[in-house]
Amino acid sequence: MESIDYREICRQVRAVARQAAQFIAEQRKTFTYDRVEEKGRHDLVSYVDKEAEKMIVARLKQILPEAGFITEEGTTAQASGERLRWIIDPLDGTTNFIHGLPPYCVSIALAEGDRVVVGVVCEAFSGECFYAWKGSKAYRNGRVIRVSTISDFDHTLTAVGLSHSSKDTITDLLYSMGILLQETSGIRRIGSAAIDLCYVACGRVDGFIQKNLSPWDVAAGALIAERAGARVTDFSSGDDYLFGRQIIASNPWVYADYMNRVVR
Q: Are residues 163 and 116 in the same domain?
A: no
Q: Are residues 124 and 242 in the same domain?
A: no
Q: How much is the pLDDT for 117?
A: 98
For residue 1, is it within any domain? no
Helix, coil or strand: residue 187: strand
**By C-alpha distance, which of 114, 96, 113 is closest to 104?**
96
The domain boundary, picked from 116, 145, 174, lies at 145
Q: Are residues 158 and 244 in the same domain?
A: yes
E strands present in 154-253 = 157-160, 186-188, 207-211, 231-233, 246-250
Q: What is the pTM of this model?
A: 0.93
Q: How much is the pLDDT for 200?
A: 98
Structural domain including 248 reads: 153-262
Q: How much is the pLDDT for 82?
A: 77
Distance CA 121, CA 89 (A): 10
Q: How much is the pLDDT for 89?
A: 96
For residue 171, is it within any domain? yes
Q: How much is the pLDDT for 44?
A: 55
Q: Are residues 79 and 118 in the same domain?
A: yes
Q: Are residues 19 and 105 in the same domain?
A: yes
Q: How much is the pLDDT for 108?
A: 98
The domain boundary, picked from 102, 119, 145, lies at 145
The domain boundary, picked from 82, 111, 145, lies at 145
Q: How much is the pLDDT for 33?
A: 83
Q: Are residues 139 and 184 in the same domain?
A: no
Q: Are residues 113 and 161 in the same domain?
A: no
Q: How much is the pLDDT for 79?
A: 64
Cα 58 to Cα 51, 61, 65: the distances in Å are 11, 5, 10
Cβ(24)–Cβ(104) below 8 Å: yes
pLDDT less than 70: residues of the chain: 1-2, 39-45, 77, 79-81, 164-168
Q: Are residues 12 and 141 in the same domain?
A: yes
Q: Are residues 42 and 124 in the same domain?
A: yes
User: What is the C-alpha radius of gyration for the chain, rounded to an integer number of angstroms?
Assistant: 17
- The CATH number given to whatever domain includes residue 160 is 3.40.190.80
Q: Are residues 31 and 140 in the same domain?
A: yes
Cα 94 to Cα 49, 50, 90, 102, 125: the distances in Å are 8, 11, 9, 10, 13
How many domains, the chain? 2
Q: Helices then strands (H, E): number in the chain?
A: 7, 14
Q: Are residues 140 and 17 in the same domain?
A: yes
Strands 105-112 and 84-92: antiparallel
For residue 98, is it within any domain? yes
